Amino acid sequence: MRQIFPQGSAAPDLGTVPGDSHKARPEAVAALAALYAYPDTAGRAAPWLRANMISSVDGAATLNNRSGQLSGPADRLVFGILRSLADVILVGAGTARAEKYQPVRGQEVWQSLREGRPPTPPISVVTRELDLDLDGPLVTGASGEARTILLTTDAAPAGRRAAAAEHADLVVAGHDSVSPAAAVGVLADRGYRRILVEGGPSLLRQITDADLLDELCMTFSPVLEGGRAGRILAAPEAAGPGRGRRTGTAAWHGAAARLALAHVLEDDGSLLCRYLRCPG
């Protein structure tokens, strides 16, 4: 893996990415952690929202209905680094089901990057009706320090709410839907300041429409998918919870959404880019 932007002597030597990303050299892990370090947000009221997504060269967010099918060793290494740096991981119910989400395990993150925090970040799922496997490992298998957080609504059946609350931290955060602001507010109230959004496209669309996204970490996979899959941002008509078109705010409407390129890494044809939101 090599840094190709910005160029200069400060670019770290990241070396070859092994097939098992957790066999990466410690100095490479440290260099990546420095590249992806969260900014100093002292005095900032809101948490920092970072999204991590992947796309084929022709814009597909999934391959065979799974984003993981687009991933390679370098992307998996950065994926683990970003999880290690995060306080909490936010994901939509559709992605949690499709990608078969489970609690983060200790061996999947670098403990050197989690000093002063629990060994693993919890997963937080936005789910209007708790349409998840409530007996599955995502709900029942998390440790006490990183219990899964389920953000749901009054529309979820009372019986499912009671069952979910037996093993997970259940928060009713809306009447008919969980707004991005409500989800972020719940997590901020729990002290989570560094929020990693892992999708899916509907949740990311809602977050950008709400003008909450601060950063996008984007991997471009050297694959042509063929146009059958959706993009990393759902179309406005599909972004809401089955309730029609969402117009969004002016700041994130169409071409008005501007991002600044912070760095680009390259590995075996994959491009790993970090974008920051442009002021104003």
Phi-psi region of 240 (alpha: psi -120 to 50; beta: other; left: phi over 0): beta
Nearest-CA neighbor of 21 among 83, 80, 85, 104? 80
Write down the architecture of domain 2-15+56-277 according to CATH: 3-Layer(aba) Sandwich (3.40)
The pLDDT tens digits for 238-275 are 555 433 333 444 444 444 478 999 999 999 999 999 99
Q: Which residue has the higher pLDDT, 252 or 80?
A: 80
pLDDT, averaged across the chain: 89
**pLDDT for res 245:** 33
Phi and psi torsions of 12, nearest 5°:
-75, 155
Q: Is the pLDDT reported for residue 175 higher than 50?
A: yes
Task: List, for residues 187-197, the tens digit of each pLDDT value.
Answer: 999 999 999 99
Which tens digit of pLDDT belongs to each residue from 137-174?
999 999 889 999 999 999 999 999 999 999 999 999 99
Q: Structural domain boundaries of the chain?
A: 2-15+56-277
Q: Which residue has the higher pLDDT, 16 or 137?
A: 137
